[in-house]
Chain A
Amino acid sequence: MKVFSNTETFNYSWEEVSTANWRKYCPWNQKSTHVVAVDTLSRTVDPETGILRTERLITCRQSAPDWLKKMIGGNIEDSHVFETSYVDPRSKTVTMVSSNLTWNNLISVQETVVYRPFNEHQTRFEQTAQITALCGGWQRIKSSIEDTLVKRFHENAVKGKEGFEAVLAMSRRVFAEEREREKMMMLQSQAANIRLAA
C-alpha cells in the first residue's frame, strides 16, 4: 500500500468553498479535464443532525501507461469513482470519501478529502489517498502500479488546486454580480414608488 497526502489553504471562507465545491468540475475549471461527468445519485438531510449526505458518481477519462493497458486489456481509459460526502453545518466540515468502482479487483483507491475553516476568510483542504494493488504476482509489478497511481494523484492534485481556484474566483464574481443586480432592482422599484407618490 502507498499513501498520498496533500494539504492546501484556500483564501475563501468555508461557506464559499463548500458551495463552489459542488461545481468544482464545471467548465470554469479548465485544469481537471480528466473528470468528464459528475452525477448525483442520492441526497438527504438528516433531520436530527442537519448533516447533508450526498452520493455521487464521478466519471474520469485519462490515458493509461501502455504497459498497464497491455496487462489489463479493454477500455482502461474510462473509470468510475463512487463518492459519498457529508456536510456538517454545525461543525462546518465537509468530508468526502471516494473509492474506485472500476478495476477494483486489481487496484483499491480510497480517498478522503476534508474541508474545514482555518479562520473566517480561509479554508483548509486535507486530502489522503490509500492506493493498494491487489493483483497477485510480483511485488515489483504491484509496486510500480502503486507508484504510477501515486504519481497520477500528485499531478491531478496540482491541477485540481489550480482549477478549483478558478472556480472559486468565478463563483465569487457571479455571486457579487447577482447581489448587485438584486440591489439595482430594489433601488429601481423604490424609485418608481417615489415617482408614483410624488
Chain B
Amino acid sequence: MSQSLAPECNEVKERYDTCFLKWYSEKYLRGLGTTDNNECAGLFKEYSKCLQGALKDRGIDKLLDEAREDNKENDAALMGKKK
C-alpha cells in the first residue's frame, strides 16, 4: 500500500487500506457492499482522526475546502442522480 503524508498515520492507514481492498473486491463488486457502515468503518474513523490533525498542521484543510466547493459540478454530473 502507499504511504500517508503523515508518517504517524501509516500504521492505521495500512490496516484500513487492507480492510477496504478486501471489502471492495469481495463484497462491493459482487453487489454485497451497499453501505459505508461496514467492517472497515471503525478503522477509517481512527485513520481520519489521525489524518485530520496532520492536514490542519500543514494548512491543507483549507485548500481542501475550496477544492470541494469547486468539485460540486462533478458531483452533480457523476453521482447519477435523476432530477
List the interface of chain A (C-beta within 8 A of B). Answer: 15, 18-19, 22-23, 25-26, 35-41, 43-53, 55, 57, 59, 80, 82, 84, 86-89, 95, 97, 99, 101-102, 104, 175
Q: Are B74 and A97 in contact (CB under 8 A)?
A: yes
Residues of the A chain whose Cβ atoms lie less than 8 Å from the Cβ of B28? 45, 52, 87, 89
Query: Which residue of B1, B2, B44, B78 has the most chain A CB atoms within 10 A of its CB atom?
Result: B2
Q: Are A43 and B36 in contact (CB under 8 A)?
A: yes
Residues of the B chain whose Cβ atoms lie less than 8 Å from the Cβ of A95? 78
Query: Which residue of A26, A35, A44, A82 has the most chain B CB atoms within 10 A of its CB atom?
Result: A82
State the CA gap A44–B24 with chains docked (Å).
Answer: 12
Who on chain A is nearest to B1 by CB?
A26
Contact with A along B17-33 (1 / 0, CB 8 A): 10011001100110101
Residues of the B chain whose Cβ atoms lie less than 8 Å from the Cβ of A19? 21, 24-25, 29
Counted as pairs of residues, one from A and one from B, with CB atoms less than 8 Å apart, the total is: 105
Closest CB pairs A-B (n = 10): A37-B5, A38-B2, A82-B67, A86-B78, A101-B63, A25-B2, A59-B5, A19-B25, A49-B80, A37-B3
Within 8 A of A (CB), among B48-83: 48, 51, 55, 60, 63-64, 67-68, 70-71, 74-75, 78-81
Shortest C-beta distance, A112 to chain B (Å), equals 9
Known contacts A23-B21, A84-B75: does B35 contact A45 (CB below 8 Å)?
A: yes
Shortest C-beta distance, B61 to chain A (Å), equals 10
Who on chain B is nearest to A87 by CB?
B28
Residues of the A chain whose Cβ atoms lie less than 8 Å from the Cβ of B35? 45, 47
Main secondary structure of the interface of B (DSSP, over half): helix
Residues of the A chain whose Cβ atoms lie less than 8 Å from the Cβ of B34? 45, 47, 50
State the CA gap A19–B24 with chains docked (Å).
Answer: 7
Q: Which of B20, B31, B67 contacts A22, CB < 8 Å?
A: B20
Shortest C-beta distance, B31 to chain A (Å), equals 7
Shortest C-beta distance, B39 to chain A (Å), equals 13
Who on chain A is nearest to B63 by CB?
A101
Known contacts A19-B21, A19-B24: does B79 contact A39 (CB below 8 Å)?
A: no
State the CA gap A65–B68 with chains docked (Å).
Answer: 30
Q: Which of A43, A45, A97 contacts B44, CB < 8 Å?
A: A43
Q: Are B64 and A101 in contact (CB under 8 A)?
A: yes
Q: Are A36 and B3 in contact (CB under 8 A)?
A: yes
Q: Which of A26, A38, A53 contacts B79, CB < 8 Å?
A: A53
